[in-house]
Amino acid sequence: MPLDHYVTLGRSGLRVSPFALGAMTFGEDPGGAGCGVEESEKILATYLDLGGNFVDTANFYTNGHSEKILGDFFAARPGLRSRVVLASKFFGNMFPGDPNGGGAGRGSIIAQLDESLRRLRTDHLDLYWLHNWDRHTPIEETMRTLDDLVRAGKIRYIGFSNTPAWVTAQAQTTASLRGWTPLIALQVEYSLLARTVEGELAPFALDQGMALTPWSPLKNGFLSGKYRRGADVTDSARTAFVGGPSEAEFAVIDEVASIAAALGTTSAAVSLAWLRARRGTVVPILGARRLEHLTANLAEVSLSARELARLDEVSAPSLDYPAPMHGAQRAMLQFAGATVDGEPSTVYPPLLQSDVRY
């Protein structure tokens, strides 16, 4: 897919590529699951050469090495930084024993941002994410601090990641009522094998005009095409941690592979095409430990309505209450057999088409 076919990120004027480049794998400290500086720079350079402009990292990815690799890369290429939408995250505590070294309190946000800017060798971030919900800090404190940093020119836009919908709604409402900087995007786990975001966060984002930037869009590589029933996959360090696909997941993997074979493309390309076809603005984050991982995921695929329906059906999630009450049963109770805004309904059985009124 052409990376220079940009989209606006949520309700903002920020133009980004249809896929972001995730830099979580840049650097080999700690754990050894990432890639070295040379390979990281090859991946980054290729992404940018193809027209990509949206790079995402976090303060504690590979113990700060990810940010440093990015900072050194852009510092060695004057003028390039201004053409890139550079995003990082705060929350992760990199100072053992210091309870204020992480989280979303005022002092910790400012300190984390200063450290990120130092490693990234830049004077501002284009997008700053809350990486996780800090249940020990009032959301008003977090939002006020982020607004202050926007007004100071140190960050340009803000978003939330991995935060409950009710907290996110509280934050957005508070920002709206107080004239503070609003959220423009949510970074969430979302894929054919992880659709529970559709219960609360995805509808909320659609209503508020926020973009979704899914992480792990191939679900730990399960949707990459290398997983088959009975196959022994040994080259994924993360799979060793999370385990292999379940039987229900294999049903989805098989359907994806069937569609990919019929279209002459890869399972990864089909999975990403399905994700980008969801309602609203969806900008998946692609991570890579080797250059070929990135290029293989950029194949352009267009899925038909029938193919999308097949994938929707086989991957249909079980959502928490009250989401199950909001489908056909809601229409039956509310519309009593009528069709409204194109949504048909049946008659609630006790009514039995009766026009009796008491």
Considering the candidates 61, 128, 190, 227, report the single residue annotated as catalytic: 61
* pLDDT tens, residue by residue, 116-158: 999 999 999 999 999 999 999 999 999 999 999 999 999 999 9
For 24, the enclosing helix (H) or strand (E) is none
pLDDT for 334? 78
Mean pLDDT of 159-187: 98
pLDDT for 18? 97
For 49, the enclosing helix (H) or strand (E) is helix 37-49
Q: How many CB atoms lie within 10 A of CB 209?
A: 14
pLDDT for 29? 77
Q: Which residues contact 274 (CB under 8 A, 6 or more apart)?
A: 192, 303, 308, 311
Residue 97 class from Cβ within 10 Å (0-12 exposed, 13-18 middle, 19+ buried)?
exposed
Residue keyed to tokens 């930084």: 81
pLDDT for 36? 95
Q: How many CA atoms lie within 13 A of 71 on its CB side?
A: 19
Tell me, which fold does domain 7-317 have in CATH? TIM Barrel (3.20.20)
Here the tokens at position 131 are 């990486």
Catalytic site residue 61?
yes
The rounded percent of the chain whose pLDDT value lies above 70 is 91
DSSP one-letter string for 51-104: T--EEE--TTGGGGHHHHHHHHHHHTSTTSGGGSEEEEEE----STT-TTSSSS
* pLDDT tens, residue by residue, 259-298: 999 999 999 999 999 999 999 999 999 999 999 989 989 9
Spatial distance between the Cα atoms of 129 and 157, rounded to a whole number of angstroms: 9
Spatial distance between the Cα atoms of 39 and 43, rounded to a whole number of angstroms: 6
The rounded percent of the chain whose pLDDT value lies above 90 is 80
Q: Which residues contact 165 (CB under 8 A, 6 or more apart)?
A: 200, 201, 204
> Does position 236 have pLDDT exceeding 90, yes or no?
no
pLDDT for 318? 92
* pLDDT tens, residue by residue, 39-95: 999 999 999 999 999 999 999 999 999 999 999 999 999 999 999 999 999 999 999
Give the pTM. 0.92
* pLDDT tens, residue by residue, 182-229: 999 999 999 999 999 999 999 999 999 999 999 999 999 999 999 988
Residue keyed to tokens 């705060």: 90
User: Cα 107 to chain center, whole Å?
Assistant: 27
Angle (CA) 299 305 311, round 5°: 70
Torsion angle defined by CA atoms of residues 70, 72, 76 and 78, in that order, rounded to the nearest 10 degrees: 60
Q: Where are the domains of the chain?
A: 7-317, 327-358
* pLDDT tens, residue by residue, 303-357: 999 999 999 999 999 998 888 888 766 666 777 788 888 888 777 776 555 555 6
Q: Which amino acid is at 68?
A: K
> Does position 238 have pLDDT exceeding 60, yes or no?
no
Spatial distance between the Cα atoms of 122 and 281, rounded to a whole number of angstroms: 28
pLDDT band of residue 249 (cuts 50, 70, 90) is: very high
Spatial distance between the Cα atoms of 170 and 166, rounded to a whole number of angstroms: 6
Residue keyed to tokens 């290429």: 77
